[in-house]
Structure 1
């Protein structure tokens, strides 16, 4: 489709180039060839009478004029996507659609694994793609590259709508044969033993339990930083390390690993996990259906 002598498909390419700043990565994202992207960039340059993207080292850098186009182009495409995806109804039994989520492996285990099992029977053609939460995935919802984000309420993006899905508290875990702990985990032993914690990215804010401990001046001896929440349980088995984890996850770990679960000997705040979606998909029937499905599924947890 042409609008004022511009093929509107070129705006999709421009939006991706401004985001990826690479012809090859844009080609990969849009599933086109690199020559096709280069040709599209040439046509954009001709139309706007500006270089738009210039090569600096190994990256392409937008010109000032291209920078000024970034926001209006993104907004225009978001508006078009909202119109295109709007449907009067959504039939999950026949719908063919992929929903992409950003969440932690903890949320995947506690919420999404059971949801995926249900979807297999009621929505067999729906596909689920999950990206693990890191400091690199924070902006994907606002960029329209994912459908949903599941994060603690305090970590949500205030620019987009959300709804609570479940709450949780914290528990401590240790190997069931740990000789240094009896039937009760005392504060003295909690401070004496070494811990396993989690780091989801170098720029991520402290986890909820760490914030609670910091407020109270409680300092743990952290010996191991695991890459995911689920890896923490594996790390305590067979040794003297302990860990503070989400209580729902602790129940799952205890069902398949030789670990004991203890109440924390220090007060740690409870929290609520929220489901977020892009504001431009507020009226999309598929988004509404998936949101309601997950909220109802969470009630059965």
Structure 2
């Protein structure tokens, strides 16, 4: 389809080029050949009378004019997608769609595992992709590369709608045969023992429990930083180390591993995990159905 002498398919290529900054990666993302992308870029340059992207080293850098096109092109494509995908009704039993989530392995364990088991029955043709949370999660949501983000409220993007899913508190875990840990933990013992914590990405902002402990001047002796929350429990087993973890996840992991779950000897703030979706998906029946499904499932936890 042409609009003002421009093939609208070229806007899809331009949008991807502005995100990927690479002909080869754009070709891979759109499942086209590199010559096809190069040809599309040439046509775009001719239409707009601008280079749009220029080669700098191994990457292509957008011109100022191309930068000015990025937001309106994305908004135009989002509008077209809403027209194409939006239907008055969504039939989960017949729907053949892919939904992509970003969440922590903790949320996956507590919420998504059970939700996916239910989806297999009520929406057997849906495909679910789950990515681990990172410092790029909010950007992925804003760029429309994911459908849902699940995170504590403080990490939500204020520009997009959200809904609370479930709340949680913190607990301490130790190996069941840890000779240094009894039926309860004193603050003195908590400070004396070695701890396992989590590092989420290279920037690793302070976790919720860390902020509570810092506010009270409580400093743990952290000797191991694991890459995921679930790894923490595996590391604790067979050692004299302890960890401060999400209580819901601790209860699940204690059914699989020889762990004892104890109350922390210091007050740690509770928190709530939120489900967030892109504002442009507010009228998409499939997104709204899956949103409501997850909220309902979370209420059963």
TM-score by length of structure 2 reads 0.98
Give the match for residue 2 of structure 1.
Answer: 2
Q: How does 1:213-232 map to 2 (within 5 A)?
A: 213-232=213-232
Give the match for residue 128 of structure 2.
Answer: 128
| 3-state DSSP of counterpart to 2:142 | coil
Q: State the distance in 1 between where 2:167 and 2:244 align.
A: 17
Give the match for residue 207 of structure 1.
Answer: 207
* Preserved CA contact (<8 Å) 2:137 2:149: no
| Cα shift at 1:54 | 0.6
Give the match for residue 277 of structure 1.
Answer: 277
Q: State the distance in 2 between where 1:53 and 1:232 align.
A: 45
| 1:222-265 deviations in Å (ceiling 9; x for gaps) | 11111001000001010011111000000011000001100011
Give the match for residue 46 of structure 1.
Answer: 46
Q: State the distance in 2 between where 1:34 and 1:189 align.
A: 62
Give the match for residue 157 of structure 1.
Answer: 157
| Cα shift at 1:136 | 3.0
| Cα shift at 1:149 | 0.4
Q: How does 1:6-155 map to 2 (within 5 A)?
A: 6-155=6-155
Q: State the distance in 1 between where 2:238 and 2:72 align.
A: 56
| 3-state DSSP of counterpart to 1:141 | helix
Note the residue ranges of structure 2 that are not aligned, 5 or more in a row.
none
Q: State the distance in 1 between where 2:270 and 2:150 align.
A: 16
**Number of paired residues?**
301
RMSD of the alignment, in Å? 0.9
Q: State the distance in 2 between where 1:48 and 1:295 align.
A: 45
| 3-state DSSP of counterpart to 2:240 | coil
Change (3 A) 1:72 1:204: farther
| 3-state DSSP of counterpart to 2:180 | coil
Q: State the distance in 2 between where 1:230 and 1:211 align.
A: 20
Which stretch of the first structure deviates more once superposed, 136-145 or 100-109? 136-145
Change (3 A) 1:292 1:213: same
Q: Does 1:170 align with 2:170?
A: yes
Q: State the distance in 1 between where 2:138 and 2:283 align.
A: 23
* Preserved CA contact (<8 Å) 2:138 2:156: no
| Cα shift at 1:39 | 1.0
Q: State the distance in 2 between where 1:189 and 1:34 align.
A: 62
Note the residue ranges of structure 1 that are not aligned, 5 or more in a row.
none
Q: State the distance in 2 between where 1:64 and 1:155 align.
A: 31
